[in-house]
Chain A
Amino acid sequence: MDYFQIIQYVANSYYNRGLELARERDLSGAAGYLKRALQFNKYHMDARNLLGLIFYEMGETSDALIQWVISVNLQPDRNPADHYLDEVQRKQGQLEVASQTIRKYNQALLHAQSGSDDLAVLQLKRIVEEKPNFVKAHLLLAVLYMAHEDYTKAGKSLLKVLQIDKNNEKAGRYMEYVKARTGKADVERRKLKNAFSHREMEDDDVILPPTYKESTGWQAIVNMVIGLVLGVVVVLFLIRPAWERSLNYDHNQEMQEFADKLNMANQEADNLRQQIAQYQEDKERTEASLNSLAGDSDSTLSQYQTLVRILDAYRGNDFQTAVQLYIDMDPSRITDESMADILNRLKADMDANAPAVLESLAASATAAGNADLALHYYEKYMEMNDRNPQIIYNMAMIYKAKGDEDTADQLFGQVIMNFSDSALAARAKEQRGY
């Protein structure tokens, strides 16, 4: 057997002893053996995990985390420590609570060491309420109680420690001290003495219960009456309330079922109402859409009709009508892709040739005294070409004739500023009174 095998055996032996003590709830004893096992073999996963569990059981969460993290790092595959870490971290806020408890304990210890025993006791009482397995907190609390000669409370704290860690050295020592001052030690000593002071029983010995007596006739009747009375009392005070409770429970269950059904029905009604509202909304939207397709002169259908009429005018070589129709058409309503090419060609032709027609139409309207129609044609002209000073000047003159001096001045101003070299600029200045 080589040295390494020997080391392995020693580590295993320590681990086995530690496991045995842990099963007997001698946690501090077990921890000692497990630490030894790890000193011989740091890779002993079971020893390290069990040591972590013992720390956790004694309320030392940080020490437990250290062991489990190291364990997972040394042995990442199929390591139960992974699960322990997951458990501690997964439960909502558990790690935060543990952290706060440790902080509170350290603060309480500081109070105790600086002589503020009352504060320390208050703090420690809260800690052991929150974390009943925090051994160190129980021990410190016990010492503080003992220091103030409150041996009963100290005894209770120590008892809790011994329930968690059976052979805790400090708790055992303190308990001896407490027992010596509460008289418990004497009682236990006497019990122990009595346990070994009885004589051995012999075959002829009969054990009679101290309360045993022969019953007489009238005693039997009295006993029966007492039995009956007790039976009635049991029925009245034990069976009947239970029966009433059962009835109430059934009734409540029934009510709950009705309430559930009612809630379901209400929910269904709400859903149906929502569906109706949705359908109504869809209907209105569809109607609005239909109206925009076929309704007034701006509707999509109307735009298609105008386009057909323009194409007819082209076929009849009536370009003027085509222009008149085109300027009032809204091509954006025609979204059909197959019409895009026709619209593009139409636009190109109109941009090139429509202004001259519009100028002629406007001049005719002016001559006929229809100023508004003339302005309409000029505006459409401007949408295609806004760089003709003659058109701007003509518009200004119409506005002036209509008495709209402001608009007329603004248009004259455009001619003066933007076309200062033209002859119209001088005439526009005259019109403005320069």
Chain B
Amino acid sequence: MINFEEEIDRFRPSLEVEEVSDAIVKTDLTDMTDIMMEIMKAVKDN
């Protein structure tokens, strides 16, 4: 059984075009390669 109230509440607003530049700035671009580099650096320092 679907609870419609809950379903509707789960919908999130779409990102507006004007907010794109802010969203790009806030995007976390850390990837696995960055993490691996950090780990290797920490190991080397210790």
Interface on A for B, CB 8 Å cutoff? 3-4, 7, 10-11, 38-43, 60-63, 65-66, 69-70, 95, 98-99, 102-103, 105-106, 109, 112-113, 136, 139-140, 143-144, 146-147, 173-174, 177
Please state if A62 and B17 are interface contacts (CB–CB under 8 Å). Answer: yes
- B15 part of interface (Cβ distance < 8 Å): yes
**Contact partners of A139 in chain B: CB under 8 A:** 11
B23 to chain A, nearest CB (A): 5
Closest to B26 in A: A66
**Contact partners of A106 in chain B: CB under 8 A:** 13-14, 16
**Contact partners of B27 in chain A: CB under 8 A:** 66, 70
Indicate which residue in B11, B20, B33 contacts A69 across the interface (CB closer than 8 Å). B20
The complex places the Cα of A106 from the Cα of B36 at a distance, in Å, of: 40
Please state if A102 and B36 are interface contacts (CB–CB under 8 Å). Answer: no
The complex places the Cα of A272 from the Cα of B29 at a distance, in Å, of: 69
Q: How large is the interface on B (under 10, 10 to 19, 20 to 34, 35 or more residues)?
A: 20 to 34
- B45 part of interface (Cβ distance < 8 Å): no
**Contact partners of B42 in chain A: CB under 8 A:** none
Q: Give 1 or 0 for each of B1-44: 1 = CB within 8 Å of chain A CB.
A: 01010011101011111111001100101111110100000000
Interface on B for A, CB 8 Å cutoff? 2, 4, 7-9, 11, 13-20, 23-24, 27, 29-34, 36
Closest to A107 in B: B13
Closest to B37 in A: A4
Given contact pairs A140-B11, A147-B4, A62 touches B33 in the complex (Cβ within 8 A): no
The complex places the Cα of A42 from the Cα of B7 at a distance, in Å, of: 33
Closest to B3 in A: A147
The complex places the Cα of A140 from the Cα of B29 at a distance, in Å, of: 31
Please state if B32 and A39 are interface contacts (CB–CB under 8 Å). Answer: yes
Indicate which residue in A62, A69, A147 contacts B16 across the interface (CB closer than 8 Å). A62
The complex places the Cα of A98 from the Cα of B15 at a distance, in Å, of: 11
Closest to A148 in B: B4
Please state if A140 and B8 are interface contacts (CB–CB under 8 Å). Answer: yes
**Contact partners of A112 in chain B: CB under 8 A:** 8, 11
A22 to chain B, nearest CB (A): 21
Closest to A74 in B: B29
Interface-centre pick from B11, B18, B20 (highest chain A CB count, 10 A):
B11
Indicate which residue in B8, B16, B31, B36 contacts A42 across the interface (CB closer than 8 Å). B31
**Contact partners of A98 in chain B: CB under 8 A:** 17
**Contact partners of B15 in chain A: CB under 8 A:** 60, 62-63, 66, 102
The complex places the Cα of A99 from the Cα of B30 at a distance, in Å, of: 29
Indicate which residue in A66, A136, A146 contacts B4 across the interface (CB closer than 8 Å). A146
Closest to A102 in B: B14
Please state if A3 and B36 are interface contacts (CB–CB under 8 Å). Answer: yes
Could you give 17 example pairs across A and B, Cβ below 8 Å? A7-B32, A10-B32, A40-B32, A42-B30, A62-B15, A62-B19, A70-B27, A102-B14, A102-B15, A103-B16, A109-B11, A112-B8, A112-B11, A113-B8, A140-B11, A144-B8, A146-B2
